[in-house]
A and B are shown apart, each in its own frame.
Chain A
């Protein structure tokens, strides 16, 4: 009895809060504009690093920069470079943005596969498989191999999925904080 009574107002409040949130609306990252969508994705890339744990010994010192490789057009690389310019990780680690060609992705900590090309994606993923590289695909991956993080657009907003199996294969640990924000999480097999 008592429990049910107590639960009712709580449920009502939550429903109200949800309604409010919907009303408020967040048009900030509206992906109707492809240019904007790319810019949002570019800012997210280096932010992911804060919630990923690389295997011990990956970085020799705190000053050892995190290498963010962009496999895509120059324009996208420029966007990412601009987003990360002057930024560091939360622990102060510097960020180095590098443009890489597919199949030449060496010494990357984060590998952003953009734009989408199914065949090359699978190839690149295969290439870095088992290496401590956070792979980020521009959209849901079609194929056997998955990127650790895959951008998705939900309700006109840039969101992402996380593949824990892929993370485990690359010996990466993903923070639960990031998992909380993921649209879908694919568990470790």
Chain B
């Protein structure tokens, strides 16, 4: 700590030193005064003794005796002059250390006098009422230097006291400083511990979510393949003109509906697991919210007031707009369920720039985000509920009322989009859920999707489609479906066999491949190799979930065609038809035709 910041010498100490000095000075003065007083008393006493003893000598004119008395006085080292005078003022006996005659002042003035370095006393010698003479005694006051020497001892004591005071003060000040430093360090330690705890909590939470995500993702993947087989075959069953009774058709429809619901469930699980394919683009959130207002009002009903606070100059975001709509609907539904007796729902948007510290506190990466918050005035959430709110299948709603997937889907979507979701809630005080979506780096609208061309799909139907699928059930269904749609089909179960099939039949016009393939080559790599051999070859991917092979950070590469399982035959037909009708496909076809003899 710099010296300038040190607390000033405590006033108490300064005061103490001052008082000590004052006391010291007073003691010296007092000593000096009492010394002089005592000395004066002594001299007066000496004079009185002389006066009383010298009386007879004066009466009987015995100068010798008087001189003896004076000499007796002179043996006192302090007395430098002493004398006896008769009634007429003539010297009878005297002593002066200087050797000269004693030099008394006015003899008529009895009493003692104190000068700077002498004390003298003059007393009349009486015989009854008459004055028969005068005595005069003078003493030197101990020289100042001698007295100061005596005071020096006191001075040293005072000096020591003052020094002790100062040392104590300094010690105390440095102690105070050390204490402050310690307190500061302690504070910093606490803050750091708090921050670390927060980060650890966030880490644990994210690890938990990650684990749950992997689990659900894995389950959903397998489920999608199974559902594909079930729903596909049910569809085939209906399409083929089997002689089925009405009962059988109803049962098939019921099974298909079940499969469809299962498919919805798995897609939501995938959304939470951040493994749903997203089609991000740059868009204006305010426009999206405004466009949804009618829908939201319908969802909320009349008891709930809706307010939108949309920031002016809001940045565009880069995300999947449809999924954001889904997310908002999910949030609004939750808000409605929390406000059974009515209330107010507020949707707010704002630009947020998070610096390192802010981002760390929320487990996010620093940068620019668009915040979309949905607040309600409902029942709110306890801390415990908040901790689990984003987990799949966690619900506070009654059985049959909610799936427990709404918030987890929102969470998965936002995370997959490179953003974050946060809950702020107090039980009884309502809930605010904030979504942060990253700002679009470039406001570029993706090129409009290629419109189906004029060329009839029928022209192209003679070109075989290469189906690469490791799951036998799915493969069987796809082959059967495409065959039924009239497409010639070649089949492979992995990358290597697919390439062999491609080499064997140069007329292949479309590669339809699963992304997850066994062996050395996944679907993406297969497509790359195939396009290297047949430049411009149209490719349609399918997946039970989209992993990084084509979905970078959960977002589809531009121009990549993907159909997610489970799909219906109708979906498949539409996609295949659209691809074959596209400009790119036709360019490929015409080049291929030209190349063909």
Of B8-16, B60-68, B168-176, the stretch lying at the interface with chain A is: B60-68
The smallest beta-carbon distance between B432 and chain A, in angstroms, is 102
The smallest beta-carbon distance between B527 and chain A, in angstroms, is 126
Which residues does B use to contact A, with CB under 8 Å?
A: 53, 55-57, 59-65, 67, 70-71, 74-75, 91-95, 97, 99, 127-128
The interface residues of chain B lying within 8 Å CB-to-CB of A50 are 59, 127
The answer to whether the Cβ of A1 comes within 8 Å of any Cβ in the partner chain is no
User: Contacts A90-B127, A90-B128: A14 and B60 contacting too (C-beta < 8 A)?
Assistant: no
Indicate with 1 or 0, residue by residue over A34-62, a CB within 8 angstroms of chain B CB atoms: 00000010001001001100000000000
Which residues does A use to contact B, with CB under 8 Å?
A: 10, 13-14, 16-18, 20-21, 24, 26, 28-29, 40, 44, 47, 50-51, 88-92, 157-160, 175, 177-178, 180-181
Given A13-B74, A24-B93, 7 more pairs with CB closer than 8 A? A10-B75, A13-B71, A14-B71, A17-B71, A17-B95, A181-B56, A181-B60
Q: Which residue of A lies closest to B54 (CB)?
A: A177
The interface residues of chain B lying within 8 Å CB-to-CB of A20 are 67, 94-95
- Bound together, the chains give a CA A159 to CA B97 distance in angstroms of 30
The interface residues of chain A lying within 8 Å CB-to-CB of B63 are 21, 24, 26
Q: Which residue of A lies closest to B72 (CB)?
A: A14
- Bound together, the chains give a CA A157 to CA B55 distance in angstroms of 18
Q: Which residue of A lies closest to B92 (CB)?
A: A26
Q: Is the CB of A29 within 8 A of B67?
A: no
Q: Which residue of B lies closest to A24 (CB)?
A: B91
Q: Is the CB of A18 within 8 A of B67?
A: yes
Interface centre among B60, B70, B94 (most CB of A within 10 A): B60
The interface residues of chain B lying within 8 Å CB-to-CB of A159 are 62
The interface residues of chain A lying within 8 Å CB-to-CB of B56 are 51, 175, 177-178, 180-181
- Bound together, the chains give a CA A181 to CA B56 distance in angstroms of 8
The smallest beta-carbon distance between A61 and chain B, in angstroms, is 18
The interface residues of chain A lying within 8 Å CB-to-CB of B127 are 47, 50, 90
User: Contacts A89-B128, A90-B128: A17 and B67 contacting too (C-beta < 8 A)?
Assistant: yes
- Bound together, the chains give a CA A47 to CA B70 distance in angstroms of 22
The interface residues of chain A lying within 8 Å CB-to-CB of B128 are 88-92
The smallest beta-carbon distance between B89 and chain A, in angstroms, is 13
The interface residues of chain B lying within 8 Å CB-to-CB of A181 are 56-57, 60, 62, 65
- Bound together, the chains give a CA A105 to CA B55 distance in angstroms of 31
The interface residues of chain B lying within 8 Å CB-to-CB of A26 are 61, 63, 92
Q: Is the CB of A13 within 8 A of B75?
A: yes
> Interface majority SS on A: helix, strand, loop or mixed?
helix
User: Contacts A18-B71, A24-B91: A180 and B64 contacting too (C-beta < 8 A)?
Assistant: no
The smallest beta-carbon distance between B132 and chain A, in angstroms, is 10
18 A-B interface contacts by CB (under 8 A): A10-B75, A13-B75, A13-B97, A14-B71, A14-B74, A14-B75, A17-B70, A20-B95, A21-B63, A21-B93, A24-B94, A26-B63, A51-B56, A90-B128, A160-B60, A175-B56, A177-B53, A177-B56
- Bound together, the chains give a CA A175 to CA B61 distance in angstroms of 17
Q: Is the CB of B65 within 8 A of A16?
A: no
The smallest beta-carbon distance between B155 and chain A, in angstroms, is 30
The interface residues of chain A lying within 8 Å CB-to-CB of B71 are 13-14, 17-18
- Bound together, the chains give a CA A177 to CA B63 distance in angstroms of 14
Interface centre among B53, B64, B92, B99 (most CB of A within 10 A): B64
Q: Which residue of B lies closest to A47 (CB)?
A: B59
- Bound together, the chains give a CA A92 to CA B130 distance in angstroms of 11
Q: Is the CB of B61 within 8 A of A29?
A: yes
User: Contacts A20-B95, A177-B53: A157 and B75 contacting too (C-beta < 8 A)?
Assistant: no
Q: Which residue of B lies closest to A25 (CB)?
A: B63
The smallest beta-carbon distance between A169 and chain B, in angstroms, is 24
The interface residues of chain A lying within 8 Å CB-to-CB of B92 are 26
The interface residues of chain A lying within 8 Å CB-to-CB of B57 are 180-181
- Bound together, the chains give a CA A40 to CA B61 distance in angstroms of 9
Interface centre among B59, B75, B92, B95 (most CB of A within 10 A): B59
Q: Is the CB of B61 within 8 A of A21?
A: no
User: Contacts A14-B75, A17-B70, A26-B92: A157 and B61 contacting too (C-beta < 8 A)?
Assistant: yes
The smallest beta-carbon distance between A22 and chain B, in angstroms, is 9
Q: Is the CB of A17 within 8 A of B61?
A: no
The smallest beta-carbon distance between B77 and chain A, in angstroms, is 9
The smallest beta-carbon distance between B239 and chain A, in angstroms, is 144
The smallest beta-carbon distance between B48 and chain A, in angstroms, is 15
The smallest beta-carbon distance between A37 and chain B, in angstroms, is 12
Q: Is the CB of A17 within 8 A of B74?
A: yes
Q: Which residue of A lies closest to B127 (CB)?
A: A90
The interface residues of chain B lying within 8 Å CB-to-CB of A29 are 61
The interface residues of chain B lying within 8 Å CB-to-CB of A24 are 63, 91, 93-94
The smallest beta-carbon distance between B12 and chain A, in angstroms, is 51
The smallest beta-carbon distance between A172 and chain B, in angstroms, is 17
The smallest beta-carbon distance between A47 and chain B, in angstroms, is 5
The smallest beta-carbon distance between B94 and chain A, in angstroms, is 7
Which of A21, A44, A90 is B67 in contact with, Cβ under 8 Å? A21
Interface centre among A20, A88, A177 (most CB of B within 10 A): A20
- Bound together, the chains give a CA A109 to CA B425 distance in angstroms of 131
Q: Is the CB of A44 within 8 A of B60?
A: yes
Please list the 9 inter-chain residue pairs (A to B) with the smallest Cβ-Cβ separation, ordered nearest first: A21-B67, A26-B63, A17-B71, A90-B128, A177-B56, A181-B62, A47-B59, A29-B61, A17-B95
- Bound together, the chains give a CA A88 to CA B130 distance in angstroms of 10
The smallest beta-carbon distance between B78 and chain A, in angstroms, is 13
The interface residues of chain B lying within 8 Å CB-to-CB of A175 are 56
Q: Which residue of B lies closest to A160 (CB)?
A: B60
Q: Which residue of B lies closest to A11 (CB)?
A: B75
The smallest beta-carbon distance between B139 and chain A, in angstroms, is 15
The smallest beta-carbon distance between B125 and chain A, in angstroms, is 12
The interface residues of chain A lying within 8 Å CB-to-CB of B62 are 159, 181
Q: Which residue of B lies closest to A16 (CB)?
A: B99
- Bound together, the chains give a CA A24 to CA B97 distance in angstroms of 16
The interface residues of chain B lying within 8 Å CB-to-CB of A89 are 128
Which of B65, B95, B99 is A180 in contact with, Cβ under 8 Å? B65
- Bound together, the chains give a CA A119 to CA B544 distance in angstroms of 176
- Bound together, the chains give a CA A20 to CA B94 distance in angstroms of 8
The smallest beta-carbon distance between A183 and chain B, in angstroms, is 10
The smallest beta-carbon distance between B90 and chain A, in angstroms, is 8
Q: Is the CB of A21 within 8 A of B64?
A: yes
- Bound together, the chains give a CA A90 to CA B71 distance in angstroms of 27
The smallest beta-carbon distance between A134 and chain B, in angstroms, is 15
Q: Which residue of B lies closest to A92 (CB)?
A: B128
The interface residues of chain A lying within 8 Å CB-to-CB of B94 are 20-21, 24
The smallest beta-carbon distance between B296 and chain A, in angstroms, is 119
Which of A10, A47, A91 is B60 in contact with, Cβ under 8 Å? A47
The interface residues of chain B lying within 8 Å CB-to-CB of A92 are 128
- Bound together, the chains give a CA A158 to CA B71 distance in angstroms of 23
- Bound together, the chains give a CA A14 to CA B65 distance in angstroms of 13
The interface residues of chain A lying within 8 Å CB-to-CB of B91 are 24
Q: Which residue of A lies closest to B65 (CB)?
A: A181
The interface residues of chain A lying within 8 Å CB-to-CB of B61 are 26, 28-29, 40, 157-158
Q: Which residue of A lies closest to B52 (CB)?
A: A177
